[in-house]
Amino acid sequence: MKKSEIYFSIALDENNVPEAISWRATDAGEKIHFAKAINIALWDREQAGTMKIDLWTKDMPVNEMKYFCIDTIGSMAESLKTATNDDVMVNKMRALCEELSKHVQDTAE
């Protein structure tokens, strides 16, 4: 069986606030990539519920955080389409993304 691993490294300041987030994946070579935010959601087998990790660096602008959340919802819609083919949920999620994008654009400083 093939094994693939993903590694995350979080540099924290003296108050435990993330200053830098880096990651690498064994399938992507040894290159280290940098990110301003991560959102990891896992479905726990035993508790049949979602476990989450949300981290963002202190230099992540608020507008980028909003778009990150919108993009996350959009990618979840694509995953749902592939996994379930539930067009009703997918279309509602996509519509929400459009509505939120418009809100962010309309309220941009």
Per the DSSP assignment, residues forming a β-bridge with 37 are 56
pLDDT in tens, 58-76: 999 999 999 999 999 999 9
In which band, very low, low, confident or very high, does the pLDDT at 30 lie, cut at 50, 70 and 90?
Answer: confident
Smallest CA-to-CA distance from 25 within 35, 15, 17 is with 35
Label residue 108 by pLDDT band (50, 70, 90). confident
Closest CA to 36 of 14, 66, 6: 66
Average pLDDT of the residues of the chain: 95
